[in-house]
Structure 1
């Protein structure tokens, strides 16, 4: 395995750990200053660290016990600097703030999805694309 492939293959574990540790400094360390972050729960892509910080903190506030568990092994495209990894996200909607103005339902959720990251040479994502069934997510949260 080349060092570039290993660098990319290790990224998902760092990203999932950042989410699961709930430490904003750790989380922002895996995100580039300029980013394109596309997620079905967002009305528009995030484009900078301030947006990423808001997203992490809003999700942690709304879902205080949110956890991402990787499924299988990452898929690496060394030529494009891209890595994808399937995951399962679990937690309870017991906090507030996400979506803004919506009261928590207390519902438990378990949702499968996949993220695709483009990672720079410093090991930070310059692009994040999350794929999951947003309709299923809002149904599990009790919002639809």
Structure 2
């Protein structure tokens, strides 16, 4: 499973970048504990994940994740961690909710920790990044 775990971050980032919901959901398990500082509460299933993907794509049509370094793999617990940079431009509506597009670009650093099942899907996604940095770069604070 080590090679599968090491490859998971690239699959997850590609899921965000390619903008196809079915492909994106293929990296997420049916039941998930997805915690992200931009969310009011954790996502627990694929319906919630679908809403998160589509809202983010709507607000940031050019959003992309760029890995920093190599993933750190914890095979004993089926976990993998990857530092990243998230870039894009706020040119659409939908995310953040109720906020009109600012037209501002962003470049935010963060780290995700995933627990991955034997099918190669995340049962847990814990994102660590500063929402305040994003809001500042968008000119919202």
User: Which residue is 1:96 aligned to?
Assistant: 93
**Could you list the runs of 5+ residues in structure 2 that have no partner in the other structure?**
none
Q: Which runs of 4+ in 1 moved over 6 A?
A: none
Shift of 1:54: 0.2
Distance in 1 of aligned mates of 2:96 and 2:69: 30
Distance in 1 of aligned mates of 2:130 and 2:14: 23
Give TM-score, length-normalised by structure 2: 0.98
User: Which residue is 1:134 aligned to?
Assistant: 131
Distance in 2 of aligned mates of 1:69 and 1:100: 25
User: Which residue is 2:15 aligned to?
Assistant: 18
Distance in 2 of aligned mates of 1:110 and 1:99: 16
SS in 1 for 2:136: helix
* Aligned alpha-carbon RMSD (Å): 0.6
**Could you list the runs of 5+ residues in structure 1 that have no partner in the other structure?**
none
Aligned residue-pair number: 141
